[in-house]
Structure 1
Amino acid sequence: MRSLISWTVRNMPAMNTLVVAILIVGAMSFAGMRREVFPEFELEIILVNVPYPGATPEEVEEGICQKVEEACRSVSGIKKLTSVAQEGVGFCVFELDSGTKDVQKVLSEIRSEVERIPSLPELAEDPKVEQVTLRNPAIKVGVLAPRVAGGVSESELRDVAELVRDDLLALPAVSAANLQGARDYEIDIEISERMLRKYGLSLRNVADIVRRENLELPGGTIRGESGEILLRGKNKRYVGDEIATLPLVTLPDGLVLTVGDLGTVRDDFADITATNRINGQQGMVVSIDRSSGEDLLAMTEAVNAYVAKVSLPQGYQIVTWADQSIDVRDRLEMLLNTGAQGLLIVFVILSLFLNLKIAFWVALGIPFCMLGAGGLMFLTDQTLNMLSMFAFLMAIGIVVDDAIVVSDNIERHRRLGKKLVPAAIDGTAEVAPSVVSSVTTTVITFLPLCFVSGVMGKFIAVMPFAFITALIMSLGESLLILPGHLSHEKGLVFTVLGWLLFPFRVFLPVLTWLQKGCDQGLQWVVRNCYRPLLDLALANRLSTMAVALSVLMMAVALVRSGVTPFSLFPKIDANRLLAKVTFPDGTPSSVTDEATKRIEQAAFQTGQELSQSDDSIVRLVHRSVGQIAAQGEVGPDARVSGSHVGAVAIELVDGESRDVTSD
């Protein structure tokens, strides 16, 4: 170790080049690193979804779930199988072993087994087999209809919402924008029973004829001397008026009756429950979803910029909520502020007890460690998220400890009369084993988190990685770079700083006086407080150990007894609330609508009562009936639809603008 330290001290140009390179690469890595709320990863969960329209849960269980379970029982790698039978649909959730190396292979085997089931109900739709992925919206955009008597038509509102969606998809930063809770377009054909009997038809006959006539098919190629002609039969109709012209019945006299002659054809929406109210107004929601390779902050900035300048038809409004980038941006600002405060505090304290040179180089270790760790995270395809930034916040207070120990020991050797270079080498080599041991014990403490299996292991993997890399960078900086900087009386950096800070030299006498006072105060504390207490502890070793053991046992007892509660993720104040209403299957939509209305009214009333001014603390309320999406959940519970479900999403103003918490 001494030879390595000696080489770095005597080859500072190379080490300075390395420092500059790490700072530049780290800054570029942070600028190019993807930013998100939580780490994105693949779940080892496979979902089999089989729609069975009109079937009861008992029929779904017997006709779908039990047969899928039996068919896939022999597939290897399945840890747990959960089946859910709901009205009109059946789900089978396969949780794979945590050590499964090839999830796609297991997915293919399950799909193959499901497709070979010979006895699925005739009316059941084709099974859908897919790997479950966590996909949460980055931000939601609401299109509010004008306040007119009776409201606007659903088709008109849908046209405006689709226009907004198309504009958002045209943004380079947005790749997925979906209408949430909107009913699908549908063309309804209604023919009375009397007309069907008159012409000897049934509804199935009509459906088959329309399906056969409404086609667009290739007809081959005609080759001639002058070239080739592609033939194509184009009889595809897309709207109700065109469907009405399709021939349906040919009478004996040659008269052709069309669909419109026998019945009514109209453009409509699917006959399902779908209600959206935003701040009490009729509206429609566009959900902006983010894939794992996209930057959250860039996406939300582009969406907010579009919303700020978009021009909609008269009376229409556009709002945004559920912006996931707010928490990430706040945590980034906290990281920058904490880093700046740490730099300032370290610099001031070391300036008072040591000198300006040591304070400067020790404080420089904070950005060096953070940027170096950021470069390694970028190389390993990590992201800047809530967990990695939390790891950086923990590391900020630890990374300077090694540098303080090394610099203080180098200063002690200088006071013994040694020259700068020998003092730097001897002082560093003397404490190097202790510094390495200290960092190693901290690394070993966090290292087991890197080997946690399952979903939780993938979720928290970035936190120990960021923390450990920051500690390793601090160890390298304190042992290999800091001694070289302290082995020179004056360098280029301090020469430039001396020129820039020349006007502040008048404060040097004040700083010298403060340093002298702090040194005398520290010596007094050591002589009159620390030394007597240390002598007392050494003279009564058994009592000291008993007191320490008692404190440890008391701490364990407080946690085990519940006096000090344990929580993996503590509750923090949030700006968003979600209330879900679920009635038994088959409940009329009017009942669900009335229940969600009461929650909506209570939200507005509570917001006004708790407000300290004329502005309510409730920024936005989104009420939906017919479909709810549970954020962060996977499997069949992630999205539930039907007239029996509803939800009310409430967004509050920022926590700094209100005196009450979300609880």
Structure 2
Amino acid sequence: MNIPKYSLENRKVIYFFLAVLLIGGIISFFKLPKKEDAPFVIKTAVLVTQYQGANPHEVEKLITEPIEREIQSMTDVYQIKSESYFGLSKISIELQPTIDPDYMPVKWDELRRKVANIQPKLPSGASTITVNDDFGDVYGIYYALTADAGFSYTDLRDWAQRIRTQLTPIEGVQKVMLYGEQTEVINVKISTSKLSALGIDPTSIMGILQKQNIQVNTGDIATEIYQLRLRTEGTYTSLEDIENQLIISKDGRKVRLGDIATVERGYYDPPSTLMRVNGKRAIGIGVASGAKDNVVAVGEAVDEKLAEIEQLLPIGIELTSLYPEDKIADEANNGFILNLIESLVIVILIIFVVMGSRAGMLIGSSLLFSVGGTLLIMLMWGVGLNRTSLAAFIIAMGMLVDNAIVVTD
């Protein structure tokens, strides 16, 4: 058999190409975005509209059908599902599976424009249409802010919001979500016996409290240089203001609200969400990175910022890591490198013993150059390292060894 002989120039080209594959693969490994799981985009949105007091048939005719007709004019809609309940309309929109994920924000903007067009045509009692399209957000880096019994939920919430404000500007952080916040309310506990004695209607008290706390624009004063806005001082600023609110009975007598009711601060009961960690009250802090961002680098930046914030936390409030996606992804990628090295060593040693040194070097180098070239192509195409791509690498490595042995043989 005639074996072709390569000239010096051809060998230089081959060596240069192999060097590009090897060096480019090493550089690509450190530059590729790393995540625990492959990023995915959910191409579904849900529209929710409330219409209090209406039965399902009325909700269907007055709310659901007009919204559906407006949405049907959108392009790339795969299917629309709707459900009508007592006082509630729920519409699910699924777009075509073939839509490019980078094009999804444009489609959701189009959906919101359609919603804005149909909103004025709904009955006056209908609420604003709520559009929810962020089902694909994954909060892989998750912390819990816990507090001892000496701190209130308000203290815990204030520190959690301060942490969110500090983490949001970090490069690669797409969104920061707080879980388990408690809504602060003012509880007015009225004595029914005193109301009966004074002849005061409880609904009148509710109406007075609602009207008193409304911001009213009383007008502007415009001059040649300045424009001043006038505002009346009618809002409540403290519990004492609410207690000093005057209530007029049916016989014309004026009574302080604090004389017939107990006014105190509290939290919405029952709470919508509650969170506890190791038996302590907690607020969850979830950090979501972008689909093309390196979660390992993002996690390191978040840890550095949190280390600075922890020095300012009062004794009794602590940060606890619940799920560090950045560390899990880093361990998975380091494990891949370890598997690659082990595979090369085992294959080369076995081939050296069975088929000789030349076959061992050929098969081992083919495996190394193939992986390096694949990493380089992944960097150019914007494909990151995650469980899916690493599993594909491990499977492909076995096939590469088999093919290399067949070709060498």
Normalised by the length of structure 1, the TM-score is: 0.49
The number of residues matched between the two structures is 389
- Deviation of residue 279 (structure 1)? 1.8
How far apart, CA to CA, are the structure 2 residues paired with 1:220 and 1:330?
Answer: 64
- Give the structure 2 partner of residue 24 of structure 1: 23
Change (3 A) 1:31 1:286: same
Matches within 5 A, 1:52-71: 64-69=63-68, 71=70
How far apart, CA to CA, are the structure 2 residues paired with 1:270 and 1:122?
Answer: 28
Change (3 A) 1:160 1:97: closer
- Give the structure 2 partner of residue 372 of structure 1: 373
User: Which secondary structure state, in structure 1, belongs to the residue aligned with residue 223 of structure 2?
Assistant: strand
- Give the structure 1 partner of residue 228 of structure 2: 231
Amino acid at match of 2:398: G
User: Which secondary structure state, in structure 2, belongs to the residue aligned with residue 68 of structure 1?
Assistant: helix
How far apart, CA to CA, are the structure 1 residues paired with 2:382 and 2:292?
Answer: 10
- Give the structure 1 partner of residue 157 of structure 2: 158
- Give the structure 1 partner of residue 118 of structure 2: 116
- How big is each residue's C-alpha offset from its partner over 1:404-462, in whole Å with a ceiling of 9 and x where there is no partner? 34444xxxxxxxxxxxxxxxxxxxxxxxxxxxxxxxxxxxxxxxxxxxxxxxxxxxxxx
- Deviation of residue 68 (structure 1)? 3.2
- How big is each residue's C-alpha offset from its partner over 1:632-657, in whole Å with a ceiling of 9 and x where there is no partner? xxxxxxxxxxxxxxxxxxxxxxxxxx
Which has the bigger relative contact order, CA under 8 A and spacing at least 6? Answer: 2
- Deviation of residue 355 (structure 1)? 3.6
Matches within 5 A, 1:264-279: 269-273=267-271, 274-279=273-278
Say yes or no: does 1:283 pair with 2:285.
no
Change (3 A) 1:219 1:196: farther
- Give the structure 1 partner of residue 141 of structure 2: 139
CA contact (8 A) 1:240 1:266 kept: no
- Give the structure 2 partner of residue 129 of structure 1: 131
How far apart, CA to CA, are the structure 1 residues paired with 2:75 and 2:165?
Answer: 44
- Deviation of residue 95 (structure 1)? 1.6
CA contact (8 A) 2:29 2:375 kept: yes
- Give the structure 1 partner of residue 175 of structure 2: 176
- Give the structure 1 partner of residue 251 of structure 2: none
- Deviation of residue 344 (structure 1)? 0.5
How far apart, CA to CA, are the structure 1 residues paired with 2:228 and 2:257?
Answer: 27
How far apart, CA to CA, are the structure 1 residues paired with 2:402 and 2:121?
Answer: 69
Greater share of helix: 1
User: Which secondary structure state, in structure 1, belongs to the residue aligned with residue 385 of structure 2?
Assistant: coil
CA contact (8 A) 1:75 1:109 kept: yes
Gaps (5+ residues) in structure 2? 249-254
- Give the structure 1 partner of residue 41 of structure 2: 42
Amino acid at match of 2:214: R
Matches within 5 A, 1:500-519: none
User: Which secondary structure state, in structure 2, belongs to the residue aligned with residue 285 of structure 1?
Assistant: strand
- How big is each residue's C-alpha offset from its partner over 1:83-139, in whole Å with a ceiling of 9 and x where there is no partner? 345787542111223345776458626752674266645443211235444111112
Change (3 A) 1:57 1:188: farther
Amino acid at match of 1:159: D
Say yes or no: does 1:210 pair with 2:190.
no
- Give the structure 2 partner of residue 590 of structure 1: none
Normalised by the length of structure 2, the TM-score is: 0.75
How far apart, CA to CA, are the structure 2 residues paired with 1:196 and 1:374?
Answer: 81
- Give the structure 1 partner of residue 252 of structure 2: none
- How big is each residue's C-alpha offset from its partner over 1:128-167, in whole Å with a ceiling of 9 and x where there is no partner? 2354441111122112222x4xx64222232333344344
- Give the structure 2 partner of residue 432 of structure 1: none
Say yes or no: does 1:328 pair with 2:329.
yes
Matches within 5 A, 1:624-663: none
Amino acid at match of 1:180: Y
How far apart, CA to CA, are the structure 1 residues paired with 2:395 and 2:116?
Answer: 49
Change (3 A) 1:106 1:283: closer
CA contact (8 A) 1:71 1:117 kept: no
- Deviation of residue 82 (structure 1)? 2.4
CA contact (8 A) 2:140 2:288 kept: yes
How far apart, CA to CA, are the structure 2 residues paired with 1:39 and 1:238?
Answer: 51
Amino acid at match of 1:112: K
Change (3 A) 1:126 1:363: same
Change (3 A) 1:362 1:163: same
User: Which secondary structure state, in structure 2, belongs to the residue aligned with residue 142 of structure 1?
Assistant: strand
Cα root mean square deviation, aligned = 4.4
User: Which secondary structure state, in structure 2, belongs to the residue aligned with residue 40 of structure 1?
Assistant: coil
- Deviation of residue 331 (structure 1)? 2.8
CA contact (8 A) 2:172 2:290 kept: no
Matches within 5 A, 1:514-593: none
- Give the structure 2 partner of residue 342 of structure 1: 343
- Deviation of residue 35 (structure 1)? 1.2
User: Which secondary structure state, in structure 1, belongs to the residue aligned with residue 33 of structure 2?
Assistant: coil
- How big is each residue's C-alpha offset from its partner over 1:182-221, in whole Å with a ceiling of 9 and x where there is no partner? 13455678899969969x96745653453243x5x99476
CA contact (8 A) 2:71 2:114 kept: no
Matches within 5 A, 1:284-303: 284-303=283-302
- Deviation of residue 6 (structure 1)? 5.6
How far apart, CA to CA, are the structure 1 residues paired with 2:319 and 2:11?
Answer: 59
How far apart, CA to CA, are the structure 1 residues paired with 2:163 and 2:214?
Answer: 33
How far apart, CA to CA, are the structure 2 residues paired with 1:365 and 1:59?
Answer: 69
Say yes or no: does 1:240 pair with 2:237.
yes
- How big is each residue's C-alpha offset from its partner over 1:248-271, in whole Å with a ceiling of 9 and x where there is no partner? 99x9xxxxx999999987665445
CA contact (8 A) 2:329 2:386 kept: yes
Change (3 A) 1:120 1:261: farther
- Give the structure 1 partner of residue 92 of structure 2: 93
- How big is each residue's C-alpha offset from its partner over 1:555-577, in whole Å with a ceiling of 9 and x where there is no partner? xxxxxxxxxxxxxxxxxxxxxxx
CA contact (8 A) 1:65 1:83 kept: yes
Amino acid at match of 1:108: E
Change (3 A) 1:54 1:139: farther
- Deviation of residue 316 (structure 1)? 2.7
User: Which secondary structure state, in structure 2, belongs to the residue aligned with residue 322 of structure 1?
Assistant: strand
How far apart, CA to CA, are the structure 2 residues paired with 1:266 and 1:288?
Answer: 35
Say yes or no: does 1:396 pair with 2:393.
no
CA contact (8 A) 1:35 1:328 kept: yes
